[in-house]
Amino acid sequence: MRKIDLTNFHLATSETARQINRRIALNFVRRYQPLSRADLARRSGLQRSTVSAIIDQLIDEGWVTEGAVGHAPRGRRPRSLHLNVERTGILGVELRPETTTIGLADVEARFLGQVSFPTASSPERFAVDLAEATVELRREHPTVLCEGMGVSLPGRVDDTGRLVFAPNLGWGPVQFTQMIERAVSLPVNVENAANACALAELWFGRHPEHVRHIVAVTVSEGIGVGLLLNGQLVHGAGSMAGEFGHVSLDEAGPPCRCGRRGCWERYASNSAAVQHYAATGGGGAQGLRVEEVARLADAGDAAAIATIDRMARHLATGLANLATGLAPDVIAIVGEVTGFWHRVGPVVDRIMAERLLPQAATRVIATDPAAQPRLRGAVTLVVQQHFGAPMVA
Ligand SMILES: [Zn+2]
């Protein structure tokens, strides 16, 4: 149950029940396609006549197609319902400190094209660059109708669209969402990258339907944590929930960009690993990437082996704390670290086995970098607008 928020509620209208049933039917088609009207009625428990009215409307609106003949042993052959994946183009933007990627996807988050450009040092310049890249990408796909844009970024945007926290971008508090909407002339949804990854795991991860508690951990310059509990993102007061990367483990530890010391990300992020390698005999940290340290570890470099092992232990300790405190079904790891999971994964499994309560059922999975989880997360921000449950009361 949810307590009704008397500052933000939706009255039921004569349309409410129809809207809810329509979304349920649309999601059955998405999940079990191809299926017939009869299958849909059987699976959902909706009356055949209700199913027909809803499906006719979804076909009219272009969300569903009914075509290919199904297999029936005899008699009337049922026609199959499919999601019309080409109906809507969605622009996803993965904003990272060095590079921004914009991709055009269908509603199944399959990319039709993408382009990258260097991320500008100011949000104003970034908006101009993004608008140019958007025009370029849309020109290459003139038949695709774009309905919206999702942006994932290493930072936080509050309820009003203002950028409130982005230490790894170094941008001040601008009205970010509105700035991007003006630049690209589309509705825009902005979300923290880790939150967007958690959402993508809910909508596109290969999990059983009952999975509703997902934590995403993005390991890059820093560490981001996206919390999706009870099937919904947790934003917290001021949209600041999930900053486990800045939970201090040692007040006398190394300084952090947030201005304090000993934060989790100062031990378990890519940059922490690179700095540790440089300080323990591996030469200069300038320009060195964590993937190279992992490669040196595979080649037998003792300092590199120790560095990756240290990163893995610190990552695992934090993951064990998240699993114990939040009891998610899944913790999804995103970032370069998944490319050397053969080194990190066994350490994570060992430490989780040692530290978790016997009742804990959390699985840790490394996401596939080829699936571009941050970019897919940005697309999911728009997908959920079309397929998510309508807000009731
Ligand atoms: Zn910090």
What integer pLDDT is reported at residue 86 of this predicted model? 86
Beta bridge partners of 63: none
Q: What does the alpha-carbon distance between residue 103 and residue 117 come to, in Å, rounded to a whole number?
A: 12
| 106 pLDDT above the threshold of 90 | yes
Distance 347 CA to ligand 1 centre (A): 24
Find the length of the chain.
393
| 25 pLDDT above the threshold of 60 | yes
DSSP symbols for 79-141: EEEEE-TTS-EEEEEEE-SSEEEEEEE-TT--EEEEEEEEPPSSHHHHHHHHHHHHHHHHHHS
| 76 pLDDT above the threshold of 80 | no
Mean pLDDT calculated for residue range 280-294 = 85
User: CB of 156 within 8 A of CB of 239?
Assistant: yes
* pLDDT tens sequence across 39-55: 999 999 999 999 999 99
Distance 268 CA to ligand 1 centre (A): 12
| 148 pLDDT above the threshold of 90 | yes
Q: Using 50, 70 and 90 to split pLDDT, how confident is the model at 391?
A: confident
Cis before 97 (ω within 30): no
Q: What percent of the chain clears pLDDT 70, i.e. is strictly above it?
A: 97
Q: Using 50, 70 and 90 to split pLDDT, how confident is the model at 262?
A: very high
Mean pLDDT calculated for residue range 184-190 = 97
| 286 pLDDT above the threshold of 80 | no
Beta bridge partners of 330: 214, 363
| 59 pLDDT above the threshold of 80 | yes
Distance 258 CA to ligand 1 centre (A): 4
Distance 97 CA to ligand 1 centre (A): 17
Distance 265 CA to ligand 1 centre (A): 7
Residue 125 C-beta-side C-alpha neighbours within 13 Å: 8
For strands 214-219 and 330-335, give the pairing. parallel
Q: By mean pLDDT, which of 256-265, 284-293, 302-311 is the weakest? A: 284-293
164, 226, 147, 46: CA torsion to nearest 10: -140
Among 370, 369, 333, 389, residue whose Cα is nearest residue 214: 333
Distance 215 CA to ligand 1 centre (A): 20
Mean pLDDT value across the chain: 93
